[in-house]
Amino acid sequence: MTEAAPAIYVDADACPVKAEVERVGTRHKVRMLIVSNGGLRPSRNPLVETVVVPDGPDVADMWIAGRAGPRDIVVTSDIPLAARCVENGAQVLKHTGEALTAANIGNILATRDLMADVRAADPFHQGGGRAFSKADRSRFLDALERALRKARTL
């Protein structure tokens, strides 16, 4: 029995690195699944599969988490989804290139929950992340390249 080839799953809603995933994934000849609840233009690339899931809370997340496993790479900034994928053995990258792993996902999930509580307690608290930068894009490309090389050795 042969091992399944690695695949890249992209939580595509609001993901700023879809083009970079396609470029790197094509170079490595891996299957890429771009998952959203619609509104994305399908790629003509035969390695890219556009998966449209029904509307609803966390439907795309459940679809990805139900399929991604060892040797796969998941691109998401959704921390609960990342936690489920890490638990399944997948490598997880945020669009900034930050790897979410078994070693750090617990702290990241706790911080996310704490910040949600802070926002709920103060409706005027206007948090928000910093703008996505060229340096983030570069870190992501490097991290995806390393993750794909690692996936090939598993």
Give the CATH number for residue 40: 3.40.50
Q: Is 49 a member of any domain?
A: yes
Q: Is 2 a member of any domain?
A: no
Residue 47 to residues 25, 64, 79, 106, 133: CA-CA distances in angstroms? Answer: 8, 17, 26, 33, 27
Q: Is 31 a member of any domain?
A: yes
Q: Is 22 a member of any domain?
A: yes
CB 92 within 8 A of CB 101: yes
Number of domain units in the chain: 1
Secondary structure, 3-state, 90-149: CEEECCCCCEECCCCHHHHHHHHHHHHHHHHHCCCCCCCCCCCCHHHHHHHHHHHHHHHH
pLDDT at 142 over 60: yes
122 vs 71: which has the higher pLDDT: 71
Q: Is 1 a member of any domain?
A: no
pLDDT at 32 over 90: yes
Give the domain range for residue 100. Answer: 7-126+136-153
Q: Is 11 a member of any domain?
A: yes
pTM for this structure?
Answer: 0.87
Q: Is 63 a member of any domain?
A: yes
Q: Is 131 a member of any domain?
A: no
